[in-house]
Each structure stands twice: as C-alpha cells, then as structure tokens.
Chain A
Amino acid sequence: MGGVRDRIERLCVALAELDLGEAAADAGAQPLLDRILTQVRSDRAPMTLEHDLDLLQEALARIGVDGLLNVTRYRRLPVSNGHPVVYAWLCPLDRCSRVETVRGANGEPVCGVADTPLKKVRLKT
C-alpha cells in the first residue's frame, strides 16, 4: 500500500489540485476524510491513519476513482536482453586471430610479438 508519508503526500496533492473533497462526499466518505485530516493535523501519533486511508481508497474505488492514494510498486521492465557493456581485446598489429574476452588479473592482455597491450574494442551490443 506504500509508505504512509507517500500516501499523505498524494492525499495533499489530491485535495489541493483534484477536488478530492467532492469525490469523497460523492463516495459517502466525507466523515472518513475528515477523520484522516484530523489525524494528519494532530500532534498525537495516528492510531488508525493507515487503515482509514485504505478505507478511503476503497470508497473512492467504488465510484470509479482508483489509484489516487496508493503507490505503484516497482516492477522490472520487460526489456528483452538489455545492452551489456562488453569489451574484447584483439591483435594490435592485425596480424593474427587472437581474441581475448576477459581483462585478466594482471591488467590488459599483452601481445607477445609486439610486446604491447592488445587492442581494446567495445562491442555493439
């Protein structure tokens, strides 16, 4: 259902910008909204706030106002394979077919013939 602070933030915005009071009255939930506001404004620790927010959300959902106070949870995007950053190391002289796929524990792989590091290329993934 989301953190209480997030839900109160949404309540605040909905009251200020979306006329939530009228929607709550239409849903027969005006006393409930008043009780929530009393708790939010009070200095005392709210006892039933989370439950009351659930009830208000359900009342609003019954008249077709949905998703106003709830927080949408994170879900993974259905991207297929992504684009991993992949490097390969090739012959610096373009004379042989040597290809290294890992960097190696001692740093860049080295060409034994030219005595220089192999050429690092990034693949277009």
Chain B
Amino acid sequence: MTAFLAELGKKLAERWVTLLVLPGLLFLAAATAAAVLRHRRALDILALRDRINDVTQAPANDRPGSIALLAAAILLASAAVALVANAVAALIMRGWTTKSSRGPARLAIAIRRSRWRRANDKVQKAIKEAARRPTSPAPEVAATIAARNRISPIAPEHPSWIGDMFRAVDLRIHETYDLDLGVTWPRLWLVAPDSARSELGAAQDAYAGSARMVGWGVLYLVLGLWWWPAAIIGVVTIGAGWFRARSATSVLIDLVESTVDLYGGSLAAQLGIPTDGRLTREIGLAITQMLQKNRDTSQAS
C-alpha cells in the first residue's frame, strides 16, 4: 500500500509539474515583466533586472521564512493560473463542437458555408468536365474534393472545422451502418483491445493538449493588454495550438472511425446479435435499438 501511494504521489507530482507548474511559472514570469515594464518600456530588460534586484535585496526578503513563503506563493500562483488556462481550454473545446448559431458563431458559420458552397461548386464543375472524357485521368476531381474537405467534408453547421469533422464522422457511421455513435461508443471502448484504446487515449490526450495550448494563448493575449510582447506570444501560441488541434482531430476521427469499422462486428457478437463478424446496416440498427433502450421519449409508450 505504501509503495502504491508513493508511486501514485510521484505520478501526480510529475503531472502537476508538467501540466500546471512549468507553464504557470512561465506565465508568471511574463506577468511580472508586464507589471514592471508595461507598453512604454516593453523590452527594457535592464529595468526589469534592476526591479527584481531591488525586491530580492530588500532586508526582509533574504530570510529563510520569506524565501519559503515566496516560493510557496509562486508555486500556488502558477498552479492557479494553470487551472484558469485549463478552464479556458474546456470552454474552447466546447466552442469547437458547439452548434450555437448566436453572435460570432453565426458569422463564422455563414462564412464557412459560403466558402464551402464555392468549393463544392468547383467539385461539381470538375466532375462534369471529367465525365465528358471518363477514360482520361482526372486528378483535378480529387484536388477539388480535398480543397472542399479542408473547409468541411459536409455542409458546415459548426463555427469551426473541428466541430464539422466530428459531425461528419457521426453522419458517415450512421449512414453506413445505421449506428448511433453516441450510445455505441462506450461499449465499443470496452470491446476494443488495449492497443486500440491506447491509440485512442493518446489521440484524446493530444486533442485536449492542443486545447490547453490555445487556452494558454488566450491568457497571454489578455496579458498583452498591459505588455504588448505577451500579445505576440498569445497569437503565436493560439495559432500553433489551433494547428495542433486540427491535426489531433484528424487523428482522433480516423481512429474512431477505424474502431467502428474493425470492432463493430465484435460488439454485435458480445451483445448476442447474430453476425458473421461483419458490421452491416441491419446489424448496426439492431445494436442501436438494443443500446438506446427506448431512450427516445417520442418512441416510449
């Protein structure tokens, strides 16, 4: 038990340092620079050094008690800032998949729909032109389809590409197998082997990590109101986080769809639904109906 608790403590401490304290300390350093320098002397490193020297050389600040108190306060403050960044990240993840059409989300959806329609027109045009010479290679069809899918694989209904990617995989699985991914996913997770869950877990971690990165970027952007270099850090961090989020979403969606394709038949067998190992629309519907358990109140007697 002691070994278990020691190991648990070590793991928690490692995660605490990696996820909370280190990025929090960096942010506190930037906040200190912002508090001392402001916009006017934003890059005056010497002024920052002098100010830190003044504080640390004050007679009351070189006693062990003061140092311990200051270290504890810094650690707590960095953890607190990290918790704020995590809360912002949670909001960002919610925003990526929201279907809200109010305020800025409505504008974002309208812009994305307009871009998607133009890209889809190019796809239709490329197909029509290629169809007139069907025996000739038509790479432009694949190119226009890829360009349209970079906006969204389906007509956009979310303010972000990420939300539409999740919706697209849900629709594809429903149209192909008549499966309701929402109710099926927990059971598929339990049926999938360790190797698949390990990949999925890593992909989910990468997705959450990218949202945390954007969350930190937002905090730096706010700090930029007092110290403009922080705004630059914020913009770059948000951009990098967004790029990572798109990549993580692609990987996660590939893996979710692959899990359904590969283990949907195993799930049917586990549920006692007759199958030859393949997942068909009939079997998918049987799984969906069994797992929904009349959850839809309009169907309930």
Contacts and interface: CB of A to CB of B under 8 A. Distances in A.
A123 B131 contact: yes
Interface string B178-208: 0000000000000000110111001100000
Contact of A123 (B10, B127, B254): B127
A87 to B, nearest CB: 9
Contacts of B57: none
A30 B269 CA distance: 45
Interface string A10-40: 0000000000000000000000000000000
B251 A76 contact: yes
Given A47-B3, A101-B127, A125-B139, A86 B145 contact: yes
B198 A124 contact: no
Interface string B251-286: 100110000000000000000000000000000000
Given A80-B146, A101-B128, A124-B135, A51 B198 contact: no
A114 interface: no
B118 to A, nearest CB: 16
A41 interface: no
Contacts, number: 85
Given A47-B4, A51-B11, A86-B145, A124 B202 contact: no
A67 interface: no
Contacts of A81: 139, 142-143, 145-146
Contact of B127 (A3, A6, A48, A86): A86
A68 B123 CA distance: 46
A77 to B, nearest CB: 10
Contacts of A73: 199, 202
Interface string B144-157: 01100000000000
Contacts of B135: 124
B63 interface: no
A74 B201 CA distance: 12
Given A101-B124, A124-B138, A76 B194 contact: no
A121 interface: yes
A6 B141 contact: no
A90 B134 CA distance: 10
A125 B129 CA distance: 13
Contacts of B11: 51
A95 interface: no
Interface centre among A51, A71, A125 (most CB of B within 10 A): A125
Given A6-B194, A71-B198, A123-B130, A76 B138 contact: no
Contacts of B202: 73
Contact of A125 (B142, B250, B255): B142
A121 B134 contact: yes
Interface in A84-114: 84, 86, 88, 90, 97, 99, 101
Nearest to B202: A73
Interface centre among A3, A4, A48, A97 (most CB of B within 10 A): A3
Contact of A86 (B141, B198, B250, B255): B141
A97 to B, nearest CB: 8
Contacts of B123: 101
A97 B133 CA distance: 12
Contact of B195 (A3, A75, A76, A83): A3
B255 A74 contact: yes
B103 interface: no
Nearest to A4: B194
Given A86-B127, A99-B131, A121-B131, A3 B251 contact: no
